[in-house]
Amino acid sequence: MVRPRKSVARLHKYRPPLEGRGGKMRLDFNENTIGCAPEVVRALRRALSADRLSCYPEYEAGRKRLAKFFGVRPEELVLTNGTDDAINVICQAFVEPGDLLLVPAPTFPVYQFFHEVAGGAVERVYYDENFRLPVRDVLKILKRRIRWVALANPNNPTGTIISKRDLRIMLEAAPNTVFVVDEAYYEFSGETVLPWIRKYPNLIVTRTFSKAFGLAALRLGCILTNAKVADDLRRGQNPFPVNSLALVGGLVAIQHAGFARRYAAEICANRATLCRWLEDQEIPYVPSQANFVLTRLGPHAPAIARRLRARGILVRDWNYDPRLRGFLRFTIGSTAQTRRLMRELRQMRDLIEARASRKDWSKFATFSATGWVA
């Protein structure tokens, strides 16, 4: 019998989006809910020629244009097949069997997934009851031989930000540890440490075109880091990591970046609208700087998610995570989509009002008029 590597056999399966999402209101996987700039679609149609499809991709001109957009040098940018591939490339370049990854919990599971595929082990540090990263605990763990640290900023699924002060403290405390700051939701937070890549040789920043730019299907991402690390990453990378159509889409998208900026501004406004409504309804939520909001709806959260799905609205149920039982994550959509979500939730008061009482939530943060309390 053919057997996989032990590290693969031990893996837990990733939970991808459910099939059959077409035609539904997609508030489950933090995608752009209205689509990419129309100019991108037109450019892709023009690029779909037999001659173009029969050629291997060429990257240098495109990499220069993307580097200029991000404000880095071409040699500081590595093209990847989305952020997932970026994490895989980082693990291929830096992770030996037995190496330790330090990762907050809960967070994007792909960091742990590719690290374990490479044969590494995982150290976790849990967000506190207010969903803040306990930096002191991180610094204690960093005294061990941690190979790399994965920090989504804003974090998924909480939407919370790690301050630049705390990021600087961690970077300087462990100069021989690789820090990956995943800025997939940068367009919604406006917070970045990208200018630091020349100051901190152990810093890697990742960006994606899957969120604000609306190109999740094309799988285009970038690793941004100092030239030496970028060269090391390219050494172990597939020589053709990004397909030609993805590159065409990305290059046209940055030409029309105003579309993504306007979309992000609308999402941030709708995020504020939803959060005000949640407060009015006394539904606890985690203040977010991303394009989603994590809410606690209590023991009937899975039933609420199922009822919403039956009405054509998809949301992310986190009940499988023992620390997030009773939580749903709502991707923020257009103004019309946000109004519809609130209207549908309002009609589910029977389930929402049956949520656990505050005294039963001692392990979780709850919202009050004065802020977050345990």
Are residues 193 and 278 part of one domain? no
Instruction: Tell which of 222, 257, 292 closes a domain.
Output: 257
CATH number for the domain that contains residue 19 = 3.90.1150.10
pLDDT value, residue 20? 74
Same domain for 60 and 111?
A: yes
Q: Are residues 124 and 143 in the same domain?
A: yes
Same domain, yes or no, for 246 and 304?
A: no
8-state DSSP, 314? E
Given a contact cutoff of 8 angstroms between Cβ atoms, the answer to whether 150 and 205 are in contact is no
How large is the C-alpha radius of gyration of the chain? 21
Return the structure tokens found at 42: 């037109």
Q: What is the mean pLDDT of the chain?
A: 91
Alpha-carbon separation of residue 116 from 10, 14, 123, 147 (angstroms): 9, 12, 12, 13
- Considering the domain boundaries, does residue 1 fall inside one? no
Residue 374 forms part of a structural domain: no
Residues 62 and 168 in one domain: yes
Domain boundary among 201, 232, 257: 257
61 and 186 housed in the same domain: yes
Q: Can you give the pLDDT at residue 34?
A: 96
Average the pLDDT over 190-205 and give the result: 98
- Same structural domain for residues 273 and 249? no
- Domain carrying residue 13: 6-30+259-369
Q: DSSP strand E in 201-298: where? A: 203-208, 221-225, 285-286, 292-296
Task: Choose the final residue of a domain: 235, 257, 279.
Answer: 257
User: At 30, which amino acid appears?
Assistant: N
Q: Please state the domain count of the chain.
A: 2
Q: Do 252 and 266 have their domain in common? A: no
Mean pLDDT of 334-347: 96
What tens digit of pLDDT does each residue of 136-162 get? 999 999 999 999 999 999 999 999 999
User: In the Cβ-directed half-sphere of 100, how many Cα atoms lie within 13 Å?
Assistant: 12
